[in-house]
Amino acid sequence: MTSGAIMLAAGSAVAVGDILVAIYFRGLADRVESGEVVREGFDPANARRTALMLMIFAPLMWLIFFLISFGIIPAGGIEPIQL
């Protein structure tokens, strides 16, 4: 049996990591568009698209982890967090 608290903590760490990567990609795209050469062949549009995807799906993923951790969405083998 896995504790819901452990799962929520791991999901939170992954979500924060994804948001930090998205902020980095966004900043990288801004630097390239302002004229700085970061790397040859770097496409700022793809970096922005990736950052947007991460910024949208990281909170959604965290919400799903939250709902599973508290037992709102039942999942076999996970002990819900009891308040």
| Domain range list for the chain | 2-79
Average pLDDT along the chain:
91
Q: Supply 45's token pair.
A: 């549009």
For residue range 52-71, list pLDDT tens digits in order.
999 999 999 999 999 999 99
For residue range 29-48, list pLDDT tens digits in order.
999 888 888 778 888 899 99
Using an 8 Å Cβ cutoff, are 11 and 21 in contact? Answer: no
